[in-house]
Amino acid sequence: MYKKTVLDNGVRVITERIPHTRTVSVGLWVDVGARDEHDLNNGCAHFLEHMFFKGTNSRSAQVIAMELDVLGGTANAFTSNEQTCFFATVMDDRLSRYMELLSDLFLNSVFAEDEVERERQVILQEISMVEDTPDERIHELFSAQLWGRHPLANTVLGSREVVGSMNTRKLVDYVERYYRPEKILIAAAGNLDHKHFVELCNEKFPGIRADEGAAGATRVMPAEQSPLRKVYTRPLEQVHMILGTYGLPVDSDDRYKLALLNTILGGNMSSRLFQEIREKRGLAYSVYSYLVPFADSGYMGVYMGVDRETVNEAVSLSTVEIEKIATEPVTEEELMNAKDYTKVTLFLANENTEARMIRIARNEFYFNRYISFDNVVAGIDIVTIDEIMDLSARLFRDKDFFAAALGPLENGDIDWKSLN
């Protein structure tokens, strides 16, 4: 059962009771991420994600780590383009203890300069790790091409310049400016009582107050850029490539159609791209299509890792499959299989309290309401072959594709004409 309460300070509290489990997953969300940053502070949200575990007025970083371990379950945090989340899964009888610890981290972290310096080195290593991992780095390069100068082109980890100059004052200023009550959501799923959880939130988080003089960032919808195809030369064994175009926002009425289209094109092992490029031709170990939706925009991409000598063949085969799905109806069997696959994925997530917590939080941010599993299943079931064809035609037929390739190539080695 789902319930929602807005505290007197404006913080939203939402819960989903799952009585058959003995655990509770709690997430403290802030509706702030890399897209809310600019050149001078890109990376602050992610830096703060690290720093909230590095000491409060009453707990050292070591004590925090020990308490989280003793509480059991899992505890972590993440930053995305649009949100930051601090979360844990604990036994239901330890919920109050965890909420006390979470409130201390969120309200009383000191961001000591010596801890900032240590964490700076950790994050710089994290940036280097992504740069040394080509199948991750290519996504950053492609996103930068797609969004241009818009903040959605920002990397979550931030720039080396911003990370290198980070200090306590900048972190405190960022919290005061962006971590406002209306941006904060506390979500929980598992064996808990909503009224008791709201009482815990009121008890543990009384210090969340708006700074009347502060104003958070205003998000601006991105404009579509002219298609750009670019080769980033590096001495690698493989060419890592992404082809893609603009997609749909999270709350689009066509979101179920898009999910099924993605599954048929390259979302699983029976998909067209996987079968054509890997199974029939042996050109790639990893090839898939994927969706990246945001509040007001999004994109659809195709990733592949291929040999330098076969890159043009792989590009050509990909564009053939993309054109076919935009001009010819998918089969009834393909659509039914995609629906079954999507529903199984949904119900597998239904077994996990952490996934349920994340789901209700994202529904609140993007739809401002709870969306039941039955509602989602119904939306999937009613999608027709004609609707898949119509959507793929709108996405693919009238748009040239962006492309980014990272590997042992030079500009001119790839024939991009098939992407037009």
Q: What is the pLDDT of residue 363?
A: 97
Q: What is the pLDDT of residue 212?
A: 56
Nearest to 157 by CA among 175, 145, 143, 176: 143
Strands (E), 100-228: 184-190
Mean pLDDT across the chain:
94
Separation CA 115–CA 246 (nearest Å): 40
Pull the structure tokens for residue 192. 């808990």
Q: What is the pLDDT of residue 211?
A: 60
Kindly report the pTM of this predicted structure. Answer: 0.94
Separation CA 141–CA 151 (nearest Å): 14
The one-letter amino acid at 114: D
Question: Phi and psi for 299 in degrees, rounded to 5?
Answer: -150, 165
Handedness of CA 60, 65, 71, 76 (dihedral sign): positive
Query: Is residue 112 pLDDT above 80, yes or no?
Result: yes
Structure confidence by residue, pLDDT tens digits, 208-256: 766 655 566 789 999 999 999 999 999 999 999 999 999 999 999 999 9
Q: What is the pLDDT of residue 71?
A: 85
Dihedral, CA of residue 208, residue 211, residue 217 and residue 219, to nearest 10: 60
Question: What does the pLDDT average to over 275-292?
Answer: 97
Structure confidence by residue, pLDDT tens digits, 362-400: 999 999 999 999 999 999 999 999 999 999 999 998 778
Parallel, antiparallel or unpaired: strands 402-407 and 239-246: antiparallel
Question: Phi and psi for 205 in degrees, rounded to 5?
Answer: -120, 45
What does the buried/exposed string (b/e) look like for 218-253 if buried means 16 or more CB atoms within 10 Å of the residue's CB? eeeebeeeebebbbeeeeeebbbbbbbbbbbebeee
- pLDDT confidence band for 417 (50 / 70 / 90): confident
- pLDDT confidence band for 74 (50 / 70 / 90): confident
- pLDDT confidence band for 401 (50 / 70 / 90): very high
Query: Is residue 277 pLDDT above 90, yes or no?
Result: yes
Question: Phi and psi for 139 in degrees, rounded to 5?
Answer: -70, -40
Read off the DSSP letter of residue 397: I
Structure confidence by residue, pLDDT tens digits, 46-67: 999 999 999 999 999 999 999 9
Structure confidence by residue, pLDDT tens digits, 121-136: 999 999 999 999 999 9
Question: What does the pLDDT average to over 21-32?
Answer: 96
Question: What does the pLDDT average to over 278-302?
Answer: 97
Strands (E), 137-237: 184-190, 229-233
Separation CA 76–CA 56 (nearest Å): 17
What angle is formed at CA 139 by the lines to CA 134 and CA 143, rounded to 5 degrees? 145
pLDDT > 90: percent of the chain: 90
Nearest to 214 by CA among 183, 252, 251, 259: 183
Domains of the chain: 2-204 (3.30.830.10), 229-419 (3.30.830.10)
Separation CA 289–CA 260 (nearest Å): 12
Nearest to 398 by CA among 390, 409, 406: 390
Supply the residues annotated as catalytic.
Answer: 49
Q: Is there a contact between 84 and 48 (Cβ–Cβ < 8 Å)?
A: yes
Kind plus residue range of the DSSP H or E element containing 285:
strand 284-293
Kind plus residue range of the DSSP H or E element containing 381:
helix 373-381
Q: Is 281 helix (H, G, I), strand (E, B) or coil?
A: coil
Structure confidence by residue, pLDDT tens digits, 306-343: 999 999 999 999 999 999 999 999 999 999 999 999 99
Question: What does the pLDDT average to over 155-184?
Answer: 95
Q: Is there a contact between 12 and 364 (Cβ–Cβ < 8 Å)?
A: yes
